[in-house]
């Protein structure tokens, strides 16, 4: 229940209902230490049977607001009582009176009013002197003679007993009091027990009133003289003390007097609104809101454009209600005068008998004839095969003739498809009159024809092109309906992809005609909802790529048969932020209902593109419930909603996937295997609802949650409700949030082992009929796959695999040499080599422009472990190691690189001084987690030499003395060790709270000791308890990318090469050889060939036998070369 403070005139007007006028408001109500004692109340959601109105109290209106818990509604305003109330409770006297007075003028002869009296005196002080009282005093003319003089009309119905604690109660005296001290114990039917402050559900329900008891069904009724002024006084007060508040709830708009309404119509009923001359009479209906004991005359004025006694039979200017009657009627009998006139009106104005002014009006229209119409012109032209739909008006029921080619001979809108010219006539009867109208249709031959293909069958997820055969070919306009499932409604051949069997209509028009035809597209099965995928988006030319097909449900909904494929678990949310509001396990209340919104894009980003949901789990961080949850129910449904912020109530229409049963919880992940598996289509957003209905309360199970960038949670809870039927208005606890519990969903994919596959291009895959195949494309290729589910339902999908052609090489020279000669080979490379591979360790790598990478976003602040543990946690020396798996780092976008600094996030700085001799070591490891007992990982590299460190709130950065190279694939271990002083100084005064994230595996091991001697980094912790858990500190890594690598060259064959692994080797060639160079940039490999051939041998023959000259004579020698290659 709520209370509001508005001005006194507004409060009085709130009480006024029909037939009364309120004026001269005066109020004498104190304002005490707890606020005003009177005001407006809103109990629309409370346990009163009054919605809102005026609240008068003997204390404070704020004390009336629930819940009715241990807080006593009691205010001492130190204010006087009221003498009129004193007279009712004599010999006792009243205190803290609240008095509300005003004048009222009723239109009728009776006043009525509804109210409820509530009090903290109930039930303990029934029959005591603390007889808090309410009075409703009236002053003014008595219709039976004389006058009322402060007559108290707040009495028990059909009695003269005043309403007070000792007259309307539970029928039993309070403890220690005698019934003889009560006025009456016989009217408990008017009393409602509201608990004693510790009674459920009132003690937790803020919508109830706080008073321990209140009345129900009390009212005031008194006879009055119409149009006379009466003075009303409403008063409530404490009796014999100033404490234990009592309040009276006065219902808004419930002070009413007799009222009359008038409406207009006809004797033909609601289907015909106008009177018709000589056929249908008009009708005015006068309604009295309550029966009277005396005859009541209601006067009215007559107006309108029609003349009384000329256009219609004379009517009087008043109606008479005999005693007990509430309805009177006046007929408007319109004359059939044969004169053509526009529509005329008759208007009646009800007169306020107090001031003779109109306050209500009704009207009846008169028309000359019935005026039935076919709704179409007198004549029209249709092409053969065309249809026309009529739209009759002017009557209530209709008959059509002749019946030829009509869809119906009754009703307003039959369809005519005539084969030849015809006249259709419609008739209607109103009263004693029958009216007709007709339309002549001339049917002419069409100059074209339309024929749709035969009805066709499709599977869900398949499409068909609709193809009307229009002859002769030409220019036509097309209109298709319904639009659902159509690619376009105004083209000749749209694509139909209906989700349900559908009859499609097409209208084909030219300048003369419109012809129609239909086709039934029947959805007879479900084609598999498939997705072609490749294990790599981009490959090197000719490299292997695996292609496969996954199947998802075609639609959302419960699955009729169990999915038998492999279950894969997807976890949404990784933070360790425990919440109790929005938990599915709201055990602190008897009943709870919560809905979670999961966007499809979130699941898609986690690699989930649809499937059959078989189980769902929530991660309990702190179990506080001590009893099972009864009727624990889970529902699911797909939705187009992407945010709950626009919702004012829960989403309805979800499917039950976990039937009501008793569920007990444990710390950690609580998995609920669904009774009805749920098909998720992979594209719709998903709603998950959890509700339960307990008979008692225990405690909330807090669950780990992660904040979403949208409103993803709606919840409400309370006691004494039906959990799964709770609405937003059931309690005031309804709320929305973006802190959604971490949710783990187990999904199974549809089995396609019996399906028929066809991949294309078939020549590019090694098996074109397998669900999973491989390919080795040398250029970017789109692979298509067609899947037949074995029942004739076919689906298609495609996936594109890109090839990286950025690397190329040219080998040279192509040349000839003599045997045994040398030639220098060379490889000219285009492209950019990838990063150089890194080996884990402190290798002296430089890092001048690092970028920041954060691993872990949880907000679970803890000291166990904290990299900064002081004496408050029992240690003067500490050593700890954290494992950061390569998969964790990669998932946050961290790749191989050079680490230059690390930082930890301090939520609360509680250490007053430095941590001494702090040393940080790092290393790579194949170890995935710690076990108990376990030993520290050894052979780590010191990256920060021993020195003191002072922490502060926020990220605390440790600049490394030696950068650390991480190879990107090994797990990374970080060790921190230090020594604090034993006297509470130098870090010993407290341990810093560090923000951590839950990893789901034992990623942390630490040991500390308070009394042993030695350094924290070298101390023997063998006899110290080891702490192992998964609350790993969030870490920031400042890193540089690895330096750029170099091309790697390999020449083959290597025979005769001075080096087979250089860019330009020297080859000594004895036979013709093709030298193939392979160049790798760290990712792809390119190849080319240089061909070196051997020059064939040749022979030189010299002929000198014919030389016969001596002295200085000349002769000739013949030399002949053969073989070889001419230069």
What's the average model confidence in pLDDT over 996-1001?
86
What's the average model confidence in pLDDT over 446-451?
89
Give the C-alpha separation, 567 to 579, whole Å. 29
Tens digit of pLDDT for each residue in 851-893? 999 998 887 788 877 888 876 555 578 889 999 999 999 988 9
Tens digit of pLDDT for each residue in 561-606? 667 777 888 999 988 789 999 999 999 999 999 999 999 999 988 8
Which residues touch 83 (CB under 8 Å, ≥6 apart)? none
Decide: helix, strand or coil at residue 180: helix
701, two tokens: 């199970």
> What pLDDT is stored for residue 611 in this prediction?
86
Which residues touch 1035 (CB under 8 Å, ≥6 apart)? 854, 855, 856, 882, 884, 902, 903, 904, 974
> What pLDDT is stored for residue 148 in this prediction?
95
Number of Cβ atoms within 10 Å of the Cβ of 844: 8
830, two tokens: 């285009």
- pLDDT tier, 1007 (very low <50, low <70, confident <90, very high otherwise): confident
Q: Of 875, 839, 854, which is closest to residue 968 (Cα–Cα)?
A: 839
Query: What are the E-state strand segments in 527-610?
Result: 529-534, 538-539, 545-552, 557-558, 567-572, 577-579, 591-598
- pLDDT tier, 499 (very low <50, low <70, confident <90, very high otherwise): confident
> What pLDDT is stored for residue 560 in this prediction?
65
Question: Per-residue pLDDT for 1026 more than 90?
Answer: no
Q: What percent of the chain has pLDDT over 70?
A: 93
Question: Per-residue pLDDT for 1127 more than 60?
Answer: no
Give the C-alpha separation, 134 to 231, whole Å. 17
What's the average model confidence in pLDDT over 509-534?
86
Whether 420 contacts 443, CB under 8 Å? yes
Question: Per-residue pLDDT for 242 more than 70?
Answer: yes
Question: Per-residue pLDDT for 215 more than 60?
Answer: yes
pTM: 0.47
Give the C-alpha separation, 251 to 87, whole Å. 26
Of 8-17, 220-229, 389-398, 1064-1073, the range with the lowest mean pLDDT is 8-17
Give the C-alpha separation, 116 to 130, whole Å. 19
Give the C-alpha separation, 1008 to 1019, whole Å. 9
Give the C-alpha separation, 411 to 406, whole Å. 11
> What pLDDT is stored for residue 4 in this prediction?
46
What's the average model confidence in pLDDT over 416-437?
91
Beta-ladder partners of 595? 689, 714
Q: For residue 299, give the H/E element and its range.
A: strand 296-303
Which span out of 161-165, 199-203, 512-516, 863-867 was modeled with the highest average pLDDT? 161-165
> What pLDDT is stored for residue 46 in this prediction?
86
231, two tokens: 């003075």
Decide: helix, strand or coil at residue 63: helix
Whether 595 contacts 715, CB under 8 Å? yes
Whether 883 contacts 1000, CB under 8 Å? no
For residues 84-97, b (16+ Cβ closer than 10 Å) or e, as one string? bbbebbeebbbbbb
Q: Of 419, 750, 471, which is closest to residue 611 (Cα–Cα)?
A: 750
> What pLDDT is stored for residue 1100 in this prediction?
63
> What pLDDT is stored for residue 47 in this prediction?
86
Q: Of 1073, 1069, 1093, 1087, which is closest to residue 811 (Cα–Cα)?
A: 1087
Tens digit of pLDDT for each residue in 78-121? 999 999 999 999 999 999 999 999 998 887 777 888 899 999 99
Domains of the chain: 2-251 (no CATH), 260-367 (2.60.40.2030), 379-444 (2.60.40.10), 453-526 (2.60.40.10), 529-551+752-803 (2.60.40.10), 554-748 (no CATH), 851-1040 (2.60.120)
Decide: helix, strand or coil at residue 400: strand
3-class SS letters over 691-741: EEECCCCCCCCEEEEEECCCCCEEEEEECCCCHHHCCCCCCCCCEEECEEE
Q: What is the DSSP letter of 61?
A: G
> What pLDDT is stored for residue 383 in this prediction?
87
What's the average model confidence in pLDDT over 933-952?
89
> What pLDDT is stored for residue 1111 in this prediction?
66
> What pLDDT is stored for residue 985 in this prediction?
40
Tens digit of pLDDT for each residue in 829-851? 999 898 889 999 999 999 999 99
> How many Cα atoms are found within 13 Å in the side-chain-facing hemisphere of 674?
31
Q: For residue 957, give the H/E element and its range.
A: strand 954-966
Tens digit of pLDDT for each residue in 746-790? 998 776 777 899 999 999 999 999 999 999 999 999 999 999 887
> What pLDDT is stored for residue 496 in this prediction?
94
> What pLDDT is stored for residue 987 in this prediction?
41
24, two tokens: 């001269």
- pLDDT tier, 256 (very low <50, low <70, confident <90, very high otherwise): low
Tens digit of pLDDT for each residue in 1053-1081? 999 999 999 999 999 999 999 999 999 98
Give the C-alpha separation, 148 to 839, whole Å. 106
Whether 1033 contacts 976, CB under 8 Å? no
Give the C-alpha separation, 957 to 950, whole Å. 11
> What pLDDT is stored for residue 147 in this prediction?
95
> What pLDDT is stored for residue 324 in this prediction?
84
Decide: helix, strand or coil at residue 77: coil
Tens digit of pLDDT for each residue in 666-677? 999 999 999 999
Tens digit of pLDDT for each residue in 325-340? 989 999 989 898 888 8
Q: Which residue has the higher pLDDT, 1122 or 613?
A: 613
Tens digit of pLDDT for each residue in 221-232? 888 888 889 999
Number of Cβ atoms within 10 Å of the Cβ of 301: 13
Q: What is the mean pLDDT of the chain?
A: 88
> What pLDDT is stored for residue 395 in this prediction?
85
What's the average model confidence in pLDDT over 620-633?
94
- pLDDT tier, 216 (very low <50, low <70, confident <90, very high otherwise): very high
> What pLDDT is stored for residue 15 in this prediction?
78
């Amino acid at each position: 229940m709520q209370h509001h403070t508005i001005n006194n005139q507004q409060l009085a007007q709130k009480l006024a209902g029909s037939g009364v006028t309120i004026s001269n408001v005066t109020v004498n109500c104190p304002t005490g230490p707890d606020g005003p004692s009177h005001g407006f109340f809103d109990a629309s959601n409370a346990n009163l049977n009054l919605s809102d109105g005026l609240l008068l109290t003997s204390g404070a209106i704020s004390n009336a607001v629930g819940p009715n818990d241990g807080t006593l509604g009691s205010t001492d305003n130190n204010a006087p009582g009221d003498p009129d109330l004193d007279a009712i409770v004599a010999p006792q006297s009243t205190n803290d009176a609240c008095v509300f007075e005003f004048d009222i003028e009723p239109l009728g002869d009776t006043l009525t009013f509804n109210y409820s009296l509530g009090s903290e005196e109930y039930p303990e002080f029934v029959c005591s002197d603390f007889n808090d009282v309410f009075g409703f005093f009236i002053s003014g003319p008595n219709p039976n003679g004389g006058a009322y003089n402060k007559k108290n009309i707040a009495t028990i119905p059909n009695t003269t007993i005043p309403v007070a604690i000792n007259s309307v109660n539970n029928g039993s005296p309070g403890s220690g009091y005698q019934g003889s001290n009560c006025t009456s114990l016989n009217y408990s039917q008017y009393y409602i027990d509201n608990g004693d402050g510790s009674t459920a559900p009132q003690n937790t329900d803020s919508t109830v009133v706080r008073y321990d008891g209140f009345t129900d069904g009390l009212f005031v009724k008194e006879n009055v003289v119409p149009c006379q002024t009466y003075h009303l006084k409403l008063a409530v007060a404490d009796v014999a003390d100033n404490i234990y508040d009592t309040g009276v709830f006065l219902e808004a708009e419930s002070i009413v007097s007799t009222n009359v309404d008038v409406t207009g119509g006809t004797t033909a009923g609601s289907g015909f609104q106008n009177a018709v001359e000589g056929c249908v009479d008009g009708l005015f209906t006068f309604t009295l809101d309550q029966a009277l004991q005396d005859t009541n005359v209601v006067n009215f004025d007559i107006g309108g454009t029609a003349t009384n006694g000329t256009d219609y039979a004379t009517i009087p200017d008043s109606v008479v209600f005999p005693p007990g009657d509430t309805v009177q009627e006046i007929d408007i009998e319109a004359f059939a005068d044969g004169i053509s006139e526009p529509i005329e009106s008759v208007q009646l104005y009800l007169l306020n008998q107090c001031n003779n002014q109109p306050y209500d009006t009704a009207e009846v229209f008169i028309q000359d004839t019935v005026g039935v119409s076919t709704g179409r012109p007198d004549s029209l032209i249709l092409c053969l095969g065309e249809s026309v739909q009529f739209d009759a008006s002017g009557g209530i029921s209709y008959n059509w003739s002749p019946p030829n080619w009509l869809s119906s001979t009754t009703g307003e809108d039959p369809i005519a498809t005539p084969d030849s010219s015809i006249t259709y006539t419609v008739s209607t009867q109103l009263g004693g009159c029958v009216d007709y109208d007709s339309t002549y249709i001339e049917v002419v031959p069409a100059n074209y024809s339309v024929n749709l293909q035969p009805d066709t069958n499709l599977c869900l997820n398949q499409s068909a092109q609709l193809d009307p055969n229009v002859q002769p070919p030409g220019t036509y306009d097309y209109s298709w309906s319904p639009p659902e499932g159509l690619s376009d409604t105004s083209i000749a051949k749209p694509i139909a992809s209906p989700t349900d069997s559908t009859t499609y209509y097409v209208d084909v028009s030219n300048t003369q005609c419109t012809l129609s035809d239909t086709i039934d597209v029947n959805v007879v099965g479900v084609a598999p909802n498939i997705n072609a995928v490749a294990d790599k988006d981009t490959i090197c030319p000719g490299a292997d790529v695996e292609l496969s097909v996954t199947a998802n449900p075609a639609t959302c909904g419960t699955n009729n048969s169990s999915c038998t494929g492999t279950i894969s678990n997807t976890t949404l949310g990784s933070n360790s932020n425990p919440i109790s509001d929005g938990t599915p396990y709201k055990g602190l209340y008897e009943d709870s209902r919560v809905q979670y919104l999961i966007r499809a894009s979130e699941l898609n980003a986690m690699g989930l593109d649809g499937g059959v949901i078989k189980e769902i789990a929530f991660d309990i961080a702190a179990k506080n419930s001590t009893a099972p949850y009864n009727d624990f129910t889970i529902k699911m449904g797909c939705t187009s909603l992407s945010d709950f912020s626009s919702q004012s109530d829960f989403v309805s229409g979800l499917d039950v996937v976990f039937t009501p049963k008793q569920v007990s919880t444990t710390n950690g992940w609580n998995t609920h295997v669904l009774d009805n598996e749920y098909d998720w289509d992979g594209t719709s957003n998903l709603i998950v609802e959890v509700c339960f209905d307990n008979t008692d309360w225990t405690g909330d199970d807090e669950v780990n949650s992660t904040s979403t960038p949208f409103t993803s949670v709606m919840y409400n809870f309370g006691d004494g409700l039906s959990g799964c039927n709770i609405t937003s208005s059931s309690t005031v606890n309804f709320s929305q949030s973006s802190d959604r519990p971490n949710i783990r969903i187990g999904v199974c994919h549809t089995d396609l082992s019996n399906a028929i596959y066809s991949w294309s291009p078939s020549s590019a895959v090694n098996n074109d009929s397998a669900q999973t195949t491989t390919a080795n494309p040398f250029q970017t290729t789109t692979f298509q796959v067609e899947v037949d589910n074995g029942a004739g339902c076919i689906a298609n999908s495609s996936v594109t695999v890109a090839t990286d052609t950025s690397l190329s090489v040219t080998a040279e020279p192509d040349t000839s040499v003599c045997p045994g000669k040398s030639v220098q080979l060379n490889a000219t490379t285009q492209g950019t080599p990838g990063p150089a591979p890194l080996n884990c360790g402190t290798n002296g790598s430089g890092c001048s422009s690092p970028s920041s990478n954060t691993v872990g976003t949880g907000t679970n602040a803890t000291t166990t472990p904290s990299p900064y543990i002081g004496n408050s946690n029992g240690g003067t020396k500490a050593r700890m190691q954290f494992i950061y798996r390569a998969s964790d780092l990669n998932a946050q976008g961290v790749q191989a690189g050079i680490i230059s600094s690390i930082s930890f996030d301090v939520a609360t700085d509680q250490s007053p001084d430095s941590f001494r001799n702090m040393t940080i070591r790092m290393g790579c490891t194949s170890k995935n987690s710690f076990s108990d007992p376990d030993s520290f990982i050894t052979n780590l590299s010191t990256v920060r030499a021993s020195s003191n460190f002072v922490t502060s709130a926020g990220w605390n950065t440790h600049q490394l003395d030696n950068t650390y190279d991480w190879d990107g694939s090994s797990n990374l271990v970080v060790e921190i060790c230090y020594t604090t002083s034993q006297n509470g100084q130098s870090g010993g005064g407290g341990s810093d709270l560090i923000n951590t994230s839950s990893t789901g595996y034992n990623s942390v091991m630490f040991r500390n000791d308070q009394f042993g001697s030695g350094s924290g980094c070298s101390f023997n912790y063998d006899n110290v308890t080891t702490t192992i858990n998964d609350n790993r500190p969030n870490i920031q890594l400042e890193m540089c990318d690895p330096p750029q690598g170099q091309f790697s060259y390999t020449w083959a064959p290597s025979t005769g090469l001075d080096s087979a692994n250089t860019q330009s080797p020297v080859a000594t060639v004895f036979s013709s050889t093709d030298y193939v160079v392979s160049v790798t940039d760290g990712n792809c490999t390119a190849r080319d060939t240089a061909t070196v051939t051997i020059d064939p041998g040749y022979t030189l023959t010299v002929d000198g036998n014919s030389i016969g000259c001596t002295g200085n004579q000349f002769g000739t020698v013949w030399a002949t070369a053969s073989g070889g290659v001419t230069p």
